[in-house]
Amino acid sequence: MATGAARSAVVLVPAGLMLLLGLWGIRRRDAVWRDEAVTYDMAHRSLPDLWATLLHVDVVHGLYYALMHGWFAVYDATLGPALGPAFGDAAGTAIGLRLPSVAAMTAAAAGVALLGRHLAGRRAGLFAGLVFALLPIVQRYAQEGRSYALVCALVVWASYVLVRAAARPRRARWLGYAALMLAACLLHEFASLALPAHGAAVALARLPRRVRRSWAFAAGGVLALLAPLAVFSTRQSDQLSWLTWPDPWQLLTFAGLAAAGCLCARVPVRPRGPIGLRALALPLLLLPTVLLLLLSDIEPTYVDRYVLYYVAGFALAAGAALAGLPRPSGTGGATRARRLRAPVAVVLVAAVLLPVDVHLRSPDSRADDATSVAEAVRQLSAPGDGLLFTPSRRRIWAATRPQDFRGLRDLALEGSPVTSGTLYGTELPGAAIRARMLASRRIVVAADPAGQPLDTNDQERTKRATLRTAFVPCTTRNVRGARVTVYARVGGAGGGGHC
């Protein structure tokens, strides 16, 4: 009984900790940032409208949007109506967006713990799961309405099935491994970079030829089934045009974890199966990110969340190293100290990370806050005012709270996001936008904050020039990642510059 409870605790304790950390501050003051707003918008389109949009843009996230469409169909009919009256509609939106990611990261923490237990014993599994749950980057994406937590969970569980298949090869296990990896890759194509890491683990373990051949067939099948999506998505490569050279802080985070993971891997670990812990942990930690960086040298593609699952490799190495530390000998006080060492270490690490964890649960931890933008527009506008988004892709700020924009006329909009099959809608030519602006007495402008790069297309240049020459700013409200300004017309039809 005690042994069974101990085995269960290895998984349940890290999973429980991850669940608590995921639910802590999940509302983030009801702030929703632009990528989450895209998820909300796409998940609430009908399936035919979603399909029509994916043919033009964001096909790489198509499966995730379809899953979230099904999730919100259930959530909006059950839990959402209960949360709305209790906490407000904004809270219901934020919680609905993030609960699937919390559940996915909880499953990922359980998978890391199982992997550690299978590869290096109970203590290693427990520590690996706890390390994984305490990592700030894990907590960040556990509370984000995007696909990255789910991809991470699928890669972790695929890794677990891989080591089990290597130990006792069965067709069902190889099919399960292929299914998990294919699901991860269909959710995000860069999950395919976990396949070279798994291949390196298989090679380093010097497995029998039939096992290597089985893995190669499974991996080849995943790539073959992924190929049509990958080829089609190249038509939408303009979506990555915003990427430049990798963010220095993201690189520093990876470099720190990579160095620490390599040091941890020096601690001796007794092999418990055909694939050793180091043979899996180090390739998973290093290869996906390194390969993505090499791709970025050809065309910028690196963002750390695209290969978030690399942190599982670090957690495995760190967990095994913590489990392999020499234990104090003796009885009495030494024994009590040994028993207290793990909980004390967890408490100390949690205390050190507390400021970071608190920051992650504030609106300031993300690029912008669509909820605050919508509230500012509602408070500063009046019925009949004109409305402009600059640049046009910031129209996504209206997706989660369309009621705050009712009564305003979107002066640049030609086709709505749904009818045009796009993320942000289509806009009129510059001359038509200028004519609409000049016919307006007041315009509310939701724009990027000062100092951001300016789009140079005809529509954006026209918006800026017309505001500069024919309008005066009345009031500005700065919110996280945005600036909402009310402009009044100078002279001409309907104005004399009165705010």
At 1 the pLDDT is: 41
Would you write out the chain's pLDDT as a tens digit for each of its 499 residues?
A: 457 777 889 999 999 999 999 999 999 999 999 999 999 999 999 999 999 999 999 999 999 999 999 999 999 999 888 776 667 778 889 999 999 999 999 999 999 999 999 999 999 999 999 999 999 999 999 999 999 999 999 999 999 999 999 999 999 999 999 999 999 999 999 999 999 999 999 999 999 999 999 999 999 999 999 999 999 998 887 766 566 677 888 899 999 999 999 999 998 888 888 999 999 999 999 999 999 999 887 777 889 999 999 999 999 999 999 888 765 555 555 566 665 665 676 677 778 888 999 999 999 999 999 999 999 999 999 999 999 999 999 999 999 999 999 999 999 999 999 999 999 999 999 999 999 999 999 999 999 999 999 999 999 999 999 999 999 999 999 999 999 999 999 975 545 566 7
Same domain, 192 and 245: yes
Same domain, 83 and 42: yes
Domain that holds residue 485: 370-489
**Three-state secondary structure of the chain:** CHHHHHHHHHHHHHHHHHHHHHHCCCCHHHCCCHHHHHHHHHHCCCHHHHHHHHCCCCHHHHHHHHHHHHHHHHHCCCHHHHHHHHHCHHHHHHHHHHHHHHHHHHHHHHHHHHHHHHHHCHHHHHHHHHHHHHCHHHHHHHCCCCCHHHHHHHHHHHHHHHHHHHHCCCHHHHHHHHHHHHHHHHHCHHHHHHHHHHHHHHHHCCCCHHHHHHHHHHHHHHHHHHHHHHHHHHHHHHHHCCCCCCCHHHHHHHHHHHHHHHHHCCCCCCCCCCCCHHHHHHHHHHHHHHHHHHHHHHCCCCCHHHHCCHHHHHHHHHHHHHHHCCCCCCCCHHHHHHHHHHHHHHHHHHHHHHHHHHHHCCHHHCCCCHHHHHHHHHHHCCCCCEEEEECHHHHHHHCCCHHHHCCCEECCEEECHHHHCCCCCEECCHHHHHHHHHCCCEEEEEECCCCCCCCCCHHHHHHHHHHHHHEEEEEEEEECCEEEEEEEECCCCCCCCCC
Residue ending a domain, choose from 315, 334, 365: 365
Q: Give the C-alpha separation, 424 to 417, whole Å.
A: 5
Same domain, 352 and 382: no
At 302 the pLDDT is: 87
Q: Is residue 496 part of a domain?
A: no
Same domain, 162 and 247: yes
Q: Is residue 234 part of a domain?
A: yes
Q: Which residues pair with 23 in a beta bridge?
A: none
Q: Give the C-alpha separation, 412 to 392, whole Å.
A: 8
Same domain, 349 and 383: no
The count of structural domains within the chain is: 2
Contact by Cβ (8 Å): 328, 337 = yes
Q: Is residue 248 part of a domain?
A: yes
Residue ending a domain, choose from 365, 381, 404: 365
Q: Is residue 494 part of a domain?
A: no
Same domain, 430 and 291: no
Q: Is residue 459 part of a domain?
A: yes
At 80 the pLDDT is: 81
Q: Is residue 408 part of a domain?
A: yes
Same domain, 349 and 477: no
Same domain, 418 and 449: yes
Q: Is residue 499 part of a domain?
A: no
Same domain, 383 and 303: no
Residue ending a domain, choose from 339, 365, 391: 365
Q: Is residue 428 part of a domain?
A: yes
Same domain, 349 and 385: no
Same domain, 350 and 479: no
Same domain, 85 and 217: yes
